[in-house]
């Protein structure tokens, strides 16, 4: 059997097991660390997320979009008012924000920039994802990483053809009536063809896993205060998936490309993000695994400091990265230099790969050079 087949087989046969053993798995694997990556796809506007409220340039650049009622958290930074749920997390020393993050010669194309962030290759080809390279370096199994969503990310695409687990809350099979019963019954017959049998098992196990995952979701939502919106449910599902102790969880949240109607769109998205993160933080603490989960929130680029003429902002360069968990809390990477823009965009102060490097080194205990090809200086958000 080739390695690829092995990995896939393992994936389907362990799928059920890992989701069924919700209670036991935790105690059995108390030291398992999980990195949860939340990708804000489309380019989140960092300047209206962590607002440089004391900088006079800010409102000059954004006469209509500038936010005047932010929630000050330092002498230079105010939170977007719809991120108010992050304030207690910041105050409980569980949130680090690294500002002005990008890479040398930032690319303003969504596609290219996403590829760069996800591969951690700033030049040339972007075949493999940095997370997949990390997972391969520790001989991870297919079930060690879970992607929640539809479009499988490059970050989790490895050198081999195998894929890590992919789930979506939309996957419930409609098994109603006579036909539904007939399908269920047909799937109880083992297949003689090997591939057909693989299909049968994957279907049965995926179905059972999804049923298991969705079972207590409403209870979880009520217990920890997740929002009842579709995005709130996704966050609750992340909370549920953490019980399977994966090494990596990955989710993409779309909609951040605010060329128009930025105010309303970003407001809604940030509110969902804030609510989701705070519910997840409560959920994690309630289970006593607050030192076992590290959450990174990133976006492929920030947006142009000056607002455009259509109620939005165009593609920019540097933006903030949030790290939630057992961190040395606070703001890193300086305030955005609104007075020294480069081609109308923010100058880059932190290479995103130095964040990855610190996570690899301090959180995963892996030599960053193996995954990133070079060393980076420490930022210090992990102490």
- CB-wise, 196 or 342, nearer to other proteins? 196
Nearer to other proteins, 161 or 216 (CB): 161
Q: Which is nearer to other proteins, 191 or 377 (CB)?
A: 191
Cα 351 from Cα 78, distance rounded (Å) = 23
CA distance 372 to 119: 9
The answer to whether 147 touches 167, Cβ cutoff 8 Å, is yes
Of 13 and 76, the one with the shorter C-beta distance to other proteins is 13
Taking CA atoms, 144 is separated from 58, 130, 224, 362, in Å, by 43, 15, 25, 19
> Assign residue 256 a region: left if phi > 0, alpha if psi is -120 to 50, beta otherwise?
alpha
- In the complex with other proteins, the residue whose CB is nearer, 163 or 220, is 163
**Burial class of residue 171 (count of CB atoms within 10 Å of its CB; 0-12, 13-18, 19+):** middle
DSSP alpha helix (H) spans, 21-119:
22-28, 56-61, 86-91, 110-119
Q: In whole angstroms, how close is the CB of 7 to other proteins at the nearest point? A: 9
Give the DSSP letter of residue 76.
S
Alpha helical stretches, state H, 139-293: 177-186, 194-215, 217-224, 230-242, 262-286
Taking the complex as a whole, the smallest distance from the CB of residue 163 to other proteins amounts, in Å, to 6
Q: How far is the CB of 131 from other proteins (least distance, A)?
A: 14
How far is the CA of 287 from the CAs of 23, 85, 323, in angstroms?
11, 20, 20
By C-beta, is 24 or 178 nearer to other proteins?
A: 178
Rounded to whole angstroms, the Cα distance separating 2 from 208 reads: 27
Task: Report, in Å, the least distance between residue 312 CB and other proteins.
Answer: 13
Nearer to other proteins, 197 or 216 (CB): 197
Closest distance to other proteins from the beta carbon of 187 (Å): 7
Nearer to other proteins, 202 or 308 (CB): 202
Distance CA 157, CA 196 (A): 25
Least Å distance between CB 178 and other proteins?
Answer: 6
Residue 174 CB, nearest approach to other proteins (Å): 6
Q: Tell me the closest approach of the beta carbon of residue 236 to other proteins, in angstroms.
A: 18
Q: Quick one: 4 or 68, whose CB is closer to other proteins?
A: 4
The footprint of other proteins (CB under 8 A) covers 4-5, 8, 11-12, 109-112, 124-128, 150-154, 157, 161-163, 165-168, 170-171, 173-175, 178-179, 182-183, 185-193, 195-200, 202-203, 206-207, 209-210
378-383, long-range: CB within 8 Å, 24+ apart, which pairs? 378/354, 379/98, 379/332, 379/333, 379/350, 379/354, 379/355, 380/328, 380/332, 381/96, 381/98, 381/323, 381/327, 381/328, 381/332, 381/355, 382/323, 382/327, 382/328, 382/358, 383/327, 383/328
From the CB of 166, what's the least distance to other proteins, in Å?
5
């Amino acid at each position: 059997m080739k390695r690829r087949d092995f990995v896939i087989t393992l994936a389907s046969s362990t799928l059920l097991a890992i989701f069924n053993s919700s209670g036991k798995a935790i105690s059995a694997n108390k030291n398992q660390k999980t990195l949860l990556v939340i990708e804000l796809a489309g380019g989140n506007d960092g300047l209206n997320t962590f607002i440089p409220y004391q900088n006079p340039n800010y409102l000059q650049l954004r006469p209509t979009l500038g936010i005047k009622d932010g929630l000050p958290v330092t002498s230079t930074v105010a939170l977007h008012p719809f991120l108010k749920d992050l304030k207690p997390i910041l105050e409980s020393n569980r949130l680090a924000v690294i500002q002005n993050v990008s890479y040398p010669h930032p690319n303003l194309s969504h596609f290219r920039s996403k590829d760069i962030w996800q591969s951690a290759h700033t030049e040339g080809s972007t075949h493999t994802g940095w997370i997949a390279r990390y997972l391969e370096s520790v001989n991870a199994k297919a079930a060690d990483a879970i992607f929640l969503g539809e479009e499988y990310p490059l970050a989790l695409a490895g050198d081999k053809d195998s894929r890590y687990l992919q789930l979506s809350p939309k996957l419930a099979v409609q098994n109603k009536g006579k036909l539904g019963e007939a399908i269920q019954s047909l799937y109880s017959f083992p297949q003689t063809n090997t591939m057909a049998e693989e299909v049968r098992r994957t279907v049965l196990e995926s179905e059972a896993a999804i049923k298991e995952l969705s079972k207590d979701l409403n209870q979880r939502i009520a217990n920890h205060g997740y929002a009842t919106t579709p995005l709130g449910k996704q966050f609750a599902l992340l909370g549920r998936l953490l019980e399977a102790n994966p090494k990596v969880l990955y989710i993409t949240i779309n909609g951040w490309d605010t060329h128009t109607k930025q105010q309303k769109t970003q407001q809604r998205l940030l509110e969902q993000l804030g609510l989701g993160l705070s519910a997840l933080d409560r959920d994690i603490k309630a289970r006593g695994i607050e030192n076992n989960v590290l959450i990174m929130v990133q976006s492929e680029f920030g947006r142009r400091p000056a607002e455009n003429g259509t109620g939005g902002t165009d593609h920019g360069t540097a933006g903030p990265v949030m790290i939630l968990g057992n961190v040395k809390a606070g703001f890193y990477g300086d305030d955005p230099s609104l007075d020294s823009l480069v081609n109308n965009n923010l100058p880059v102060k932190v290479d995103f790969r130095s964040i990855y490097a610190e996570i690899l080194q301090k959180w995963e205990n892996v030599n960053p050079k193996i995954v990133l090809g070079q060393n980076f200086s420490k930022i210090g958000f992990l102490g």
